[in-house]
Amino acid sequence: MTTLLIAVAAAAGFVLAYRLYGRWLGRRIFDLSVGHAVPSVTCRDDVDFVPTPRSVVFGHHFTSIAGTGPIVGPAIAVMWGWLPAVLWVVFGSIFIGAVHDLGSLVVSLRHQGQSIGDVAGRLLNARVRVLFLIILFIGLTIVLAIFGLVIAGVFRMFPGAIFPCVVQIPLAVAIGLAMHRKGVGLLFPSIIALLVMYVTVVFGDVGLLGEFNQLLASLPTMGWVVILLGYCYIASVLPVGVLLQPRDYINALQLVTSLSLVVFGLVIAAFVGGAAVNGARPPLEIAAPLVDIDPPGAPSMFPFLFITIACGAISGFHCLVASGTTSKQVKCESDALSIGYGSMLLEGGLAMVVILACVAGLGLGISDGGDGALIGTAAWDSRYLDWTSAGGLAAKVGAFVDGAANFLTAMAIPPAVATALMGVLVASFAGTTLDTACRLQRFVVQELTSTMDRGHGRIRAAAWSLPGRFIATAVAVILALVLASIPMGDVAWTWSSMGNGGLTLWPLFGGMNQLLAGLAFLVIATYLARQHRPVGFLLVPMVIMLIVPAWALAAQIFVGAGTAAAWIDGEAWWLVVIGGAFLILELWMVIEASLVWFTLRRREAQE
């Protein structure tokens, strides 16, 4: 029953946090009001700025921020024990991550829907704007390259997820056209889309569809990356209501219902055990250690726990989504609380499900490679023998899929269907993050190349013109494709070798992503200070997110990848260059922000 009690306690904590702390932030700190004008109305162009119902924007925002991060991060971090992972997810989500997301959304809403980088320029100075936009550009290029490779890997691991993910695209277009051109309500199309989605999960790997999945799964990794980035290009240049909004919305419905099934399965397993193994239902028990300070081959828990679990506790990528696409769709400013603060808490709930699936769900039984099955501690040990064996993409995703599928089979759902459903969940989360990241990168490219009206701080309309978005998206896609295609070491560029080197960027993602959150806190705090509002509650989260990720990133690139041997063999020099440049840009921006804060305080003292 311990597993169930942990789940109930976490859920109760998230609900209380939303009703108490979240509402206090919305009312007393950010002064959210239905009477405030929003960019989706004042800047409406029906391409990017589109007033949208809260439920649709919530679906877009949640599925965009909840990529593979809240799955792969917690799935590996539990090696340090389930208690540190649970504490960081719960308290990190409530007091750091959700505050960061809400603040990023609000400052963008109050500045014409501009990205957090452009807002930094208006609140601090022009140099900070350029620095932040360069940081965003580097970060998003890495996200596009890595997530393209990750989704390709997921499809190769779970071919049954391919057709259900592909069929989402025509469904989304049909719903988008019905909503925006014919004024059809959301209820009926949503029910139809959800039914179709689950039918494709159950029957999408049978007969000709199964052959279709196997054919696509056999494509080289770079073949998939080309297809995925090509799709992202189309999704990014289309009006947001045609594909991005409805796809994210139906994805959100499917994902939330799937997670609900997993939670219900957890409850069933807690009372009656899992599906029968060797003629008996194994009890639901935590097979992982409470705390393990020194698991075999793992780095130090502090600071690496706090960058291993990024999404699910706090993620800098969320400030890009909040200020890049979400702020341009919010129809009423008061919706920002549920979209910004609430979505992050829901993502924390997803991370909790992942943790429980890995530490308890795995123990309900997994194959031993032959005709038998492993249960309990034996099942845990087979997947978490050491850091190296547990750290690969296949191992991390596989641990969650198998553990969560065990919760579903406790409800008598066939194992093949349960595994396919979890595979679709992983691929869908990653896919929505990828196409949103492409649109965000387009905005960053446009903002970097735009001409600023110094008198009013507005982006001139030419920067958002039709040719602008096509060219900017092409820049984003081509750079990501080149980065993703790099082979490992000195290996020749072939279809089979391309992409292996791109995945070596993954170790940088956690530290860079978390540093971005610290920089976003700088911008949020500056906005509140200029509005003469309290900033004390932000200081501790801001300091944590500026120091801890920088410490971890420096350790990764200069102690790990940056050793002399790595420089000589030529496999890690570019990691050191990219990570080092990121740290220098962060330090520069912190210095610039500190000077602005000093000036503000001095003026206040004089007044």
Radius of gyration of the chain (CA): 23
**What gap in Å lies between CA 585 and CA 132, rounded to an integer?**
8
Q: Which residues pair with 452 in a beta bridge?
A: 459
Using alpha carbons only, give the angle 70, 404, 506 rounded to the nearest 5 degrees.
Answer: 30
Q: Which residue has the tokens 């396919």?
A: 420
- Residue 577, CA atoms < 13 Å, CB-side half-sphere: 6
Q: Give me the pLDDT at residue 501, please.
A: 57
Q: What is the C-alpha separation between 76 and 413, in angstroms, rounded?
A: 27
Q: Based on the number of CB atoms within 10 Å of its own CB, is 57 exposed (0-12), middle (13-18) or buried (19 or more)?
A: buried
For residue 510, which of 442, 582, 458 has the smallest C-alpha distance? 582
Neighbours of 323 (CB within 10 A): 30
Low-confidence ranges of the chain (pLDDT < 70): 180, 182-183, 186, 371, 391-394, 451-467, 488-492, 495-497, 499-507, 560-572, 574, 607
Terminal C-alpha separation, the chain: 60
Query: CA-CA distance, 566 to 576, in Å (whole number)?
Result: 10
Do the beta carbons of residue 143 and residue 321 sit within 8 Å? no
CA 158 to chain centroid: 20
At 450, which helix (H) or strand (E)?
none
Helix (H) or strand (E) holding 77: helix 69-77
Quickly list DSSP for 116-178. Answer: HHHHHHHHT-HHHHHHHHHHHHHHHHHHHHHHHHHHHHHHHH-GGGHHHHHHHHHHHHHHHHH
C-alpha span between 261 and 281 (Å, rounded): 19
pTM of the predicted model, to two decimals?
A: 0.91
> Tell me, what DSSP letter sits at residue 21?
I
Q: What is the 3-state secondary structure (H, E, C) of 253-305?
A: HHHHHHHHHHHHHHHHHHHHCCCCECCECCCCCCCCCCCCCCCCCCCCHHHHH
Tokens of 540: 């501790």
Burial 531-559 (b: 16+ CB within 10 A, else e): eeeebebbeebbebbbebbbbbbbbbbee
The burial of 416, by beta-carbon neighbours within 10 Å (0-12 exposed, 13-18 middle, 19 or more buried), is given as middle
What pLDDT score was predicted for residue 517? Answer: 94
Are 322 and 82 in contact, with CB atoms under 8 Å apart? Answer: no
pLDDT at 26: 97
* Structure tokens that stand for 141 in this block: 């290029």
